[in-house]
Structure 1
Amino acid sequence: MTITRRQWLFFSLVMLIMACDFCLIHLPYRTSTDLETVDFGVAMDFMLVIPFVYYMVLVRKNQRHWTSVIYVSFFFGHALLWFLHSPGLRLLIYPVDLLFVIVEIRLLMRLFRVGSTYRQMRHSSDVPGIEVFESALTVHLGSNPFFRYIATDLTLIYYSLFSWGRKAYSPSGTKVFSYHTTSNAWIILIVMSKVLLLEGFATHILVQHWSHFAAWVLTASNIYLWLFLLGDYRAMKLNPLILSDSALRVRYGLRFKLTIPMTDIAAVTETSNVRLTRKERRETLMYESNVHIALNHPVLARGPFGLQKSVTGLYIHLDQPGNFVRCVSNLKDQANPEDRQ
């Protein structure tokens, strides 16, 4: 998954605005009036300018729902509390809080309908419950980036904490191909567990001498990343590749997911030590490759946090690449017997 140019543009503009405001705040001022004027300007940047940039760069162009602007304003408005020197200006955040509460009440009312939709979809589908829940969220909450972020968090919490004891998804009448046994994902999880949990504790002790807030932010980030790695490995184990007569279902951990119709698969080959050009990297997904799936047409792959990428091929790692290549080739030969003549 890749971050789009507009997302990079938004993040760059936000960092530029915050850097300028940080410098302004720390300049020496002779009177309290000057300081209050600077604080007011910084408050306008955080509560109006940054949300406006978000709307113009990401919301308006991509036709997203305007309510996400309220979340951006709420987040940066409360981040502003760490910069302001004038307590009176903190009252400016109250209108944003009121809008946030109204939006949350509206969201809560829509969430009540997610449960009934989930139960209806669960009875008519044999896919894993967490995917049905994601579909129910999409029905009622749409493709808003904030809701996509929530869906990703719920998914990683499910796989990291509540998926233990579950069996791998294996619908009847299909062939399944695992990819976690010989992958290095388990080794990465063990190594990163040591770095994030053990060394992260030592880092917390060190950083808290400078800032307690920064220390807890760093520790929370380490725990979140560890849960993501654990959830990714559990998702890899519970979601093998599923090959049916009509499609190939790919759920590669928490990294990406897509369903490829058999008619869109051009070729499947075993690979090793693959080096891609810059153009090929933009058009493909690659993870520990020992199998290459070439596509006839671009297929949309969905990643975490609402990220999307149109791909023309996949480079993935499977436990039994030879068996997978033979099965896909046999299905394509059965569907197109004239190709063998």
Structure 2
Amino acid sequence: MKVTTRINGNLITVAIPILLIASLFILAKSEAFASNISSLSIGITLDLLFTIPAIYFLLIRKKAIPKITVVPFFVMGMLIAFQIIPKEHQFILKWVKTWIFPIVELSVILFLVYKIQQIRIQYKAHTLQKPDFFTALQEASRAVIPGKVSTLLTMEIAVIYYGFIYWKRKKLSKNEFTYHKNSGTIALLIALIGIIGIETYVLHILLLKWNHIAAWIVSGASIYSGVQIFGFLKSITKRPISIENNTLLIRYGILSEVSIPIKDIVSIDITSKDIELDSTTRKLSPFGNLENHNIVITLQKEYILNGLYGSKKSFQTLVLFVDQKEDFKTMIENNPNFLNQHVEKSNRIQ
């Protein structure tokens, strides 16, 4: 309920300045504007450049929304003003573009550099305790940038890092287990990248006959999707499932993950039988039935599976694929916390 209320509040916060911009756009196309073009041009320009961004700032000042999001409304207002205000009445716009906009642009760049430096400092601090890049980056980003922005930033950096920077072969420890070698996921993602490449080329050729800008926009979006999938693919090979400090760290690249104390595991079964997925039974892989499974883990209570771009799903039974399934099952069942939990359960039954 609280989450829904917060989401609705954020939507209203964004909707108010957008509605104000739309009303000014309508005013600029009206007969009233044509009959009083000089004074209304000044008023609309000032409202788009300063009044609406100021109203938006007042709406978000006590919220978790980053204050830097005021800048897009300023830029959007300036772009719209150049479109709807006649050129002979754009003297304020031109002055703002020449003197104010460069200051805003420089401020944004300095702000981003400062935040990146903060993330680097936080990342170094977290990597001393947590060597996994994605985990350290998540915590560093959350410490510097609030809300959903940190999640989006983390994911974009991780895609680039795993896709194009981290090429060193991952050496597994005894407590680490892969899940991509025999599952068929890598082949699936490679095929998907190939399909995107072919479709991008064909669609680009067709769209060029209609509109060059549209062709390059669509092609750019497709290439970006291909880059993301490649980053996801590489992350699957670099982030194994592991058992550390009596905790089971279940990962599926940067696509999904969850940490489970071994004491909360009721059972771990090796099975490839079809399992009906519902609100309490989830599959680790976001590809669902496109990927096989061979392990089913049942827990004492519900946990949250963290997914792509901050999505969350509750579960009490998790279905996944592990290449070394027997070793994985044995290591968990031989863990003292798992054994103690079952001994206590047996004693209670007696």
TM-score (norm 1): 0.72
Q: Report the alpha carbon displacement of residue 216 of structure 1 after superposing the two structures with TM.
A: 1.9
Structure 2 residue matching 1:201: 3-state secondary structure: helix
Structure-2 separation of matches of 1:233 and 1:55: 42
Structure-2 separation of matches of 1:191 and 1:117: 37
Match of 1:316 in 2: 320
1:127 to 118, 131, 138: 131
Structure-2 separation of matches of 1:128 and 1:103: 30
Q: Is 1:157 aligned to residue 198 of structure 2? A: no
Count residues in correspondence: 326
Q: What letter is aligned with 1:256?
A: S
Contact kept in structure 1, 2:304 and 2:314, CA below 8 Å: yes
Aligned in 2, Cα 1:30/1:192: closer, same or farther, shift over 3 Å? farther
Q: Is 1:292 aligned to residue 296 of structure 2? A: yes
The structure having more radius of gyration, on CA atoms, is 2
Please tell me the root mean square deviation across aligned C-alpha atoms, in Å.
4.5
Structure-1 separation of matches of 2:184 and 2:50: 44
What are the superposed Cα offsets for residues 169-198 of structure 1, whole Å, 9 maximum, x if unpaired?
x45xx5222111122322322222222222
Structure 1 residue matching 2:334: 3-state secondary structure: helix
Q: Report the alpha carbon displacement of residue 229 of structure 1 after superposing the two structures with TM.
A: 1.1
Aligned in 2, Cα 1:276/1:304: closer, same or farther, shift over 3 Å? closer
2:339 to 323, 334, 337: 334
Match of 1:145 in 2: 148
Q: Report the alpha carbon displacement of residue 273 of structure 1 after superposing the two structures with TM.
A: 2.2
Match of 1:273 in 2: 274
Structure-2 separation of matches of 1:206 and 1:43: 43
What are the superposed Cα offsets for residues 92-114 of structure 1, whole Å, 9 maximum, x if unpaired?
78867755643442342343344
Structure-1 separation of matches of 2:253 and 2:195: 22
Contact kept in structure 2, 1:81 and 1:90, CA below 8 Å: yes
Aligned in 2, Cα 1:262/1:333: closer, same or farther, shift over 3 Å? closer
What are the superposed Cα offsets for residues 297-318 of structure 1, whole Å, 9 maximum, x if unpaired?
443443343x141523333222
Q: How does 1:1-341 map to 2 (within 5 A)?
A: 33=34, 63-73=63-73, 76-77=76-77, 80=80, 84=84, 86=86, 88=90, 98-99=103-104, 101-122=106-127, 124-125=128-129, 127-139=131-143, 141-168=144-171, 170-171=172-173, 175-269=175-269, 270-277=271-278, 279-280=279-280, 287=286, 288=288, 290=293, 291-305=295-309, 307-313=310-316, 314-331=318-335, 332-336=337-341, 337-339=343-345
Structure-2 separation of matches of 1:45 and 1:239: 47
Among the aligned pairs, what percent are the same residue?
17
Q: What letter is aligned with 1:219?
A: S
Q: What letter is aligned with 2:296?
A: H
Structure-1 separation of matches of 2:251 and 2:81: 41
What are the superposed Cα offsets for residues 74-109 of structure 1, whole Å, 9 maximum, x if unpaired?
574577589657553965788677556434423423
Aligned in 2, Cα 1:326/1:48: closer, same or farther, shift over 3 Å? farther
What are the superposed Cα offsets for residues 132-182 of structure 1, whole Å, 9 maximum, x if unpaired?
34433333x2334333322211110011111223314x45xx522211112
> Higher relative CO (CA 8 A, sep ≥ 6), structure 1 or 2?
1
Structure 2 residue matching 1:200: 3-state secondary structure: helix
Structure-2 separation of matches of 1:43 and 1:298: 53
Q: Report the alpha carbon displacement of residue 247 of structure 1 after superposing the two structures with TM.
A: 0.2
Structure-2 separation of matches of 1:321 and 1:273: 17
Q: What letter is aligned with 1:309?
A: K
Q: What letter is aligned with 1:183?
A: S
Aligned in 2, Cα 1:191/1:175: closer, same or farther, shift over 3 Å? same
Q: What letter is aligned with 1:259?
A: S
**Structure 1 regions of 5+ residues with no counterpart?**
none
Contact kept in structure 2, 1:267 and 1:293, CA below 8 Å: yes
Aligned in 2, Cα 1:9/1:210: closer, same or farther, shift over 3 Å? farther
**Structure 2 regions of 5+ residues with no counterpart?**
none
Q: Report the alpha carbon displacement of residue 53 of structure 1 after superposing the two structures with TM.
A: 8.2
Structure 2 residue matching 1:254: 3-state secondary structure: coil
What are the superposed Cα offsets for residues 23-81 of structure 1, whole Å, 9 maximum, x if unpaired?
x88xx9889839x889x98997999879978996x996xx4144143254257457758
Contact kept in structure 1, 2:53 and 2:74, CA below 8 Å: no
Structure 1 residue matching 2:176: 3-state secondary structure: strand
